[in-house]
Amino acid sequence: MTVNMPIEKIEPKGKEKPIYSEQINFQFLTREFELQLILTKDHLEIKLYDLSNEDVYQNKINNENFSQLILNKTLKTIKLLPDNFLLYDQVAKHFLFIFGLREIILKATVKKKNKDLINFKIETLTKENQQLKKRIEILEKNQKTMIEDFEQRFQEIANGLSKKQMGGLVKMSGKYVCQWDTSSADSVVFSENDLKVTAIKGNFWRGARGNKILTQGVTTIKIKMDKLHLGNGGIMVGVVDSMYKGINYNSAKGHMLYSSNGNYYQNGQPRRRLCKPINQNDIVSVIVDMDRKELSFKLNDIILGVVCSDLPKKVLLAIDLYYQRCSASILF
């Protein structure tokens, strides 16, 4: 027989506000129970009502280090009620309630003389909390992007000022990638502290390489098209297998290049159309993901996508120039 009785509402004493509170009703055999829980920063209070016979089991754990004990996973089995109510450490480790929005899972066992068990769990990750958590993740991601963009822009400004006023190069640790390798080129001249390369001595394919071998991580290199033939011709940028030092376009094995005509070339052969032709003063981003072995490009703010997903183990930044006086500069 079920007896209806007023349920005592658990309230924290003083001004202490609960971090989490929950009420669960369930049946066991022919009896009905209600479980009330309240969590604060320093204690867990539990009341178990037997609605069939008006019995009340309650207990309160006080410990100023309670939350820290749980987070450190040092909390072992706690006997909350004599032989009736046990809280196990394998679920207590999920008590990240001091962070407010994180998932809280309680798993309790009510043990009777006949050894029958009731298991239930309480999950508190409401839709509101899910939405708020998602918004926080978006804000954190946007903040990271803003910081990276600021660092990148600062580097570009610093490089520009350094080249213009001091003739040197300002480097930010972990950000500036490479310069042109003056030993791997022919029929080109380098300037602005080896950041700019310009074709000389006629119209034919010649090239230059970066001075740093890329083997791991994600590297983005921005290259400005300083001068193109008739406004949009004569330059290819990308990467080359480090084992190939050849600079002749017609025998350019291991080359993966984005051409100013808008096409992607691999081993000297056109593979796919990426976009409209590049214009003078456009900025091409060469994005090298050596963890995934992927090469992708971006033209100004337009993402052109992945063009190669099987990069060799070691690659170098590469540029090929055809027309005399065509030039490009590493910005970042």
112-137 tens-digit pLDDT: 333 333 333 333 344 555 666 677 67
Q: Is the separation of the CB atoms in 188 and 223 below 8 Å? A: no
Residue 284 lies in a domain: yes
Residue 5 lies in a domain: no
Cα 153 to Cα 232: distance, rounded to the nearest angstrom: 25
- β-strand partners of 181: 209
Last residue of a domain, one of 153, 175, 197: 175
Q: Tell whether the model's pLDDT for residue 1 goes beyond 60.
A: no
Instruction: Give, as one character, the DSSP assignment of residue 7.
Output: P
Give the pLDDT mean for 81-99.
32
Last residue of a domain, one of 62, 93, 124: 124
> Are 159 and 208 contained in the same domain?
no
Radius of gyration in angstroms for the set of CA atoms belonging to the chain, rounded to a whole number: 33
| Residue 35, domain extent | 20-124
> Are 309 and 244 contained in the same domain?
yes
Residue 203 lies in a domain: yes
> Are 170 and 183 contained in the same domain?
no
165-192 tens-digit pLDDT: 444 444 444 444 678 888 877 788 888 8
> Are 120 and 56 contained in the same domain?
yes
> Are 189 and 73 contained in the same domain?
no
Residue 231 lies in a domain: yes
> Are 140 and 222 contained in the same domain?
no
Residue 68 lies in a domain: yes
For the chain, how many structural domains are there in total?
3
What are the CA-CA distances from residue 54 to residues 47, 137, 300 (Å)?
12, 46, 73
Q: Give the N- to C-terminal CA distance of the chain in Å, as an integer.
A: 78
Taking CA 188 as the corner, what is the angle to CA 187 and CA 189, rounded to the nearest 5 degrees?
A: 135
> Are 184 and 321 contained in the same domain?
yes
> Are 114 and 226 contained in the same domain?
no
> Are 92 and 53 contained in the same domain?
yes
> Are 182 and 325 contained in the same domain?
yes
Residue 93 lies in a domain: yes
Which of 289, 142, 130, 140 has its CA nearest to residue 221?
A: 289
> Are 132 and 90 contained in the same domain?
no
Q: Is the separation of the CB atoms in 58 and 49 below 8 Å? A: no
Give the per-residue pLDDT at 50. 64
Residue 247 lies in a domain: yes
What CATH number is associated with residue 220? 2.60.120.920
Residue 103 lies in a domain: yes
> Are 253 and 321 contained in the same domain?
yes
244-273 tens-digit pLDDT: 765 544 456 778 888 888 889 888 788 888
Last residue of a domain, one of 141, 175, 209: 175
